[in-house]
Amino acid sequence: MKSDNQHISRVIISGGGTGGHIFPAIAIANEIKARNPEAKILFVGAIGKMEMTRVPDAGFDIIGLPIMGFQRKLTLSNFKLPFMLLISLLRARKVVKKFNPEIVIGVGGYASGPTLKMATWLGVPSVVQEQNSFPGKTNILLSKKVNLICTAYEGLEKFFPLEKIKLTGNPVRKNLSSGAISKKEALDIFELAENKKTILILGGSLGAKTLNDAMLALTNEGEAAENQYIWQCGKHYFDELKTKVSEKENSNIKLLAFISRMDAAYSAADIIVSRAGALSVSELCLIGKPVILVPSPNVSEDHQTKNAMSLVNADAAIMVRDGDCDSELIKNVNTLLNDRELSDRLSKNILSLARPNATSDIVNESENILLK
């Protein structure tokens, strides 16, 4: 299955479940295509998850496995899990044998485990792209058999074989680092003023109730007028919040279910408040603005807190725990607004952690496997 040339010609990319897994997967696929337009790329995802629509929208074929995650509460699906896992392993084995890839790349998510397990069992060169500072149990198990582990954080030799680790970073959206849009243009897009500080609140596409509650309290107390806010509240919360936050009375608040122009939002912001998913953290490093991270407590292995702490320990961000958000978030925003030295130091340090060539480096390292 060794490649005849430097570039990959047949590859399976597996994983998904969230945008944080899907976007890197698509970015890697696009990089492979850019190098070899004739490359054959097949995605393997989980039936019912968002990759089953997002991947075809990006122009790639995908096959679904009936894999599911373990639920913390007692549910019928937990009893089905062993059977679904067995079916997924058998289906993944069939897919790998039929497609006959040169290499298989797993980006995390439910489908990645069975696909990489079968690829290594069949002797196909395999890569794990580990996005978090604290890997999940599946990737730790897979690391024993795969050929390469591309990481976004240092120090993962605690979990993976050192000789297999390559520090590459996480793929991010290309237009974020181009600097193509000025701050003035960005503020105009959101109809905001140039003479006020702008705070960007990012709760993700689904929203973060804790961040929304803290922002709502701020508007109710009438303290929001001094600054201006781009507030991504999430589609589940938008209708309810729209009735509570009058744009006429709060013209300095732009309440949005989803931000389509993230390049403009990042450019407009003086301070960014965000969850600490792996992709978000990688983008924030590239943007280089003062950041307050509020890790979600509702993720496996509490990996968002560990992602956030990797920046805090580098003096590159402030972290506010989810449970302290109502009392500490706005206090820390005001600290950053009033302490120029602190803001500048955080900006400089977070920018030093950026890895803008992550996608290219991941594909380079994957191609190197085929040359051995």
**Residue 50, number of CB atoms within 10 A of its CB:** 17
What is the pLDDT confidence band of residue 70, given thresholds at 50, 70 and 90?
very low
Alpha-carbon span 266 to 281, nearest angstrom: 13
Residues contacting 240, CB < 8 A, separation 6+: none
Burial of 353 (0-12, 13-18, 19+ CB in 10 A): buried
Alpha-carbon span 205 to 223, nearest angstrom: 26
- Find the length of the chain: 372
Q: What would the two tokens of residue 13 be?
A: 């990319």
Residue 27: phi and psi, rounded to 5, are: -60, -40
What is the pLDDT confidence band of residue 123, given thresholds at 50, 70 and 90?
very high
For residue range 81-108, list pLDDT tens digits in order.
788 899 999 999 999 999 999 999 999 8
Alpha-carbon span 14 to 109, nearest angstrom: 8
DSSP secondary structure, 210-269, as one string = HHHHHHHHHHHTT-GGGSEEEEE--HHHHHHHHHHS-TTT-TTEEEES--S-HHHHHHH-
Amino acid at 13: I
Amino acid at 88: S
What is the pLDDT confidence band of residue 172, given thresholds at 50, 70 and 90?
confident
What is the pLDDT confidence band of residue 240, given thresholds at 50, 70 and 90?
confident
Residues contacting 28, CB < 8 A, separation 6+: 13, 105, 107, 129, 171, 359, 362, 363
| Strand, helix or coil for residue 319 | strand
Lowest mean pLDDT, pick from 66-80, 195-209, 283-297? 66-80
Mean pLDDT of the chain: 89
Buried b / exposed e along 170-187 (16+ C-beta atoms within 10 A): bbbeeebbeeebeeeebb
For residue range 247-277, list pLDDT tens digits in order.
655 678 899 998 989 999 999 999 999 999 9
For residue range 311-362, list pLDDT tens digits in order.
999 999 999 999 999 889 989 999 999 999 999 999 999 999 999 999 999 9
pLDDT of 306 reads: 93
For residue range 291-324, list pLDDT tens digits in order.
999 999 887 778 899 999 999 999 999 999 999 9
pLDDT of 109 reads: 86
Alpha-carbon span 101 to 109, nearest angstrom: 20
Reported pTM: 0.85
